[in-house]
Amino acid sequence: MSLVKSVVIVDYGMGNLNSVKRKLAKIGIESAISRDTQKILSADKLVLPGVGHFKKAVENLKKTGLWDALNEAVLIRKVPILGICLGMQLMGKHGEEGNVEGLGWFPVCIVRFGVKDTIKYKIPHMGWNTVKGRQGSLLFQGVDETAEFYFVHAYHMQGQDGSEITGFTEYEYDFCSYVEKGHIFGVQFHPEKSHNVGERILSNFGKL
């Protein structure tokens, strides 16, 4: 039995959509992959995944009409949404990659890693790492502080306004790897590739 009535995975042409859908199905959450704006607007919950170039993602969202649909669903209808990797980054106000504006749900910029030790800290950041902080987070309920999640990214959120719950990951320096503000959630890691702890994150989202 599904935990929620309707979960729509937003298809804007960038992301491993089917792996997210399969992981949701494994934990009993039925979902549909769609770029139909009406389905986006009528969903009980939304997942915005993504892999690739920030500017191209913005262009695809606008070209398909999903940009306006997401803003209406999330900002006006208050539909809970989970952004994954690039999907989380698109929630920021500005992307350094392509120098374009994001959705602006969080007053932050998306910047490329600025590590000094490029031998030890390869870019993109790829592999397993923890998420510290995130006290009071709804998505991390029941998840141990030592749990590791799978990351693969070259850009990250920079700067917070203090009105949201945040989690941080260390890769030479601390960067924002989790945001939560009301019904809007974003994770820089890939829960669909993070085994049992990733399933717990998705399950928590489904139960909201």
DSSP for 144-156? -TT-EEEEEESEE
pLDDT in tens, 8-62: 999 999 888 999 999 999 999 999 999 999 999 999 999 999 999 999 999 999 9
Q: Answer for the pair 155, 51: CB distance below 8 angstroms, yes or no.
A: no
Block residue for tokens 């969202």: 61
**DSSP code of residue 186:** E
The structural domains of the chain, with segments of one domain joined by +, span: 7-206
pLDDT in tens, 68-78: 999 999 999 99
pLDDT in tens, 96-150: 999 999 999 999 999 999 999 999 999 999 999 999 988 889 999 999 999 999 9
**26: how many CB neighbours lie within 10 A of its CB?**
12
Q: Which CATH number fits domain 7-206: 3.30.360.10, 3.50.50.60, 3.40.50.880, 3.30.413.10?
A: 3.40.50.880
* 28, amino acid identity: G
pLDDT for 2 equals 43
CA 151 and chain centroid, separation: 12
Q: Does 90 have pLDDT greater than 90?
A: yes
Distance CA 54, CA 94 (A): 9
Residues labelled catalytic: 85, 190, 192
